[in-house]
Amino acid sequence: MNDQHIVSAFDRDLEAIQAQIMKMGGLVESAILEAAISLETRDIERAEAVRMADKVVDGLEEMINSEAARVIALRAPTAVDLRLILTVIKVSGNLERIGDYAKNMAKRTSVLTQMDPVNDSAGSLRRMAREVENMLKDALDAYIQRDAELAKDVIDRDRDLDQMYNALFREFLTFMMEDPRNITACMHLHFIAKNMERMGDHVTAIAEQTVYLVTGEKPEEARSKADVTSLPAQQGD
């Protein structure tokens, strides 16, 4: 009876933590979209709201980590349950990093509004952001539903995101060669695109954790990246 009580308490603790994960995920999804819209509409106030909202995401990650540590200490989870708790910590860490990239996108909006638009680059970046947002939504759904197949689908879609990034990289390179006055703006736009490509990597990591959680095995082989550009990634400001 006592064991049953402990299991019940663990389940309640886990549900509470996962509710915070979903809240965090919703905020990060919103940050991705809002950062992209603020860039496209050149809305500095909207970009600033994204930057400020990142503090809430950071706070949730700290809360989740603290609660997960408490559960490990108090409930002494079994091997399977411990794996579940550790997955929660890794998922929240990846969400926090995605939120940071969205914040970094928003930071560059205020700089780019002072420059002339470069073709429809902002629209292209918004389409890329929508793909990242959809991948993240599916990755979180896969995590909550313990759906390994959906998680694997998200992993496969990361290559499409890489291809979108490669196309934008080539486009920005062309604009810079055609007119040197585009160089500064295109460098900022490139780093925004690179941030979104990195977001895709963290979304994929969430999906890979879900596969591991459900099957007990890591994905069969390392993902081959489709990012063929040579410029170094910028992690953020």
CA distance readout (Å), 220 to 12, 79, 103, 195: 33, 22, 33, 27
d(CA 155, CA 2): 41
Residues sharing a CB contact under 8 Å with residue 113, sequence separation 6 or more, in sequence order: 42, 44
Q: How confident is the model at residue 7, as a pLDDT?
A: 60
Q: How confident is the model at residue 234, as a pLDDT?
A: 45
Residue from 131, 120, 107 nearest 196 by CA: 131
CB 168 within 8 A of CB 128: yes
CA distance readout (Å), 182 to 74, 159, 187, 233: 58, 28, 9, 20
The percent of residues in the chain predicted with pLDDT above 70, rounded, is 89
Q: How confident is the model at residue 1, as a pLDDT?
A: 41
What's the mean pLDDT when you consider all of the chain?
Answer: 88
Q: How confident is the model at residue 149, as a pLDDT?
A: 95
Q: How confident is the model at residue 232, as a pLDDT?
A: 45
CA distance readout (Å), 37 to 52, 110, 210, 219: 16, 13, 30, 34
| Structure token digits, residue 153 | 């689908």
- CATH 1.10.760.10 assigned to domain 2-215? The reply is no
- pLDDT, tens digit, for every residue of 162-220? 999 999 999 999 999 999 999 999 999 999 999 999 999 999 999 999 999 998 877 76
Handedness of CA 6, 8, 11, 12 (dihedral sign): negative
Listed by start position, the domains of the chain span: 2-215
Q: Which residues of the chain have pLDDT under 70?
A: 1-7, 220-237
Residue from 203, 192, 211, 35 nearest 135 by CA: 203
For 173, the enclosing helix (H) or strand (E) is: helix 148-178
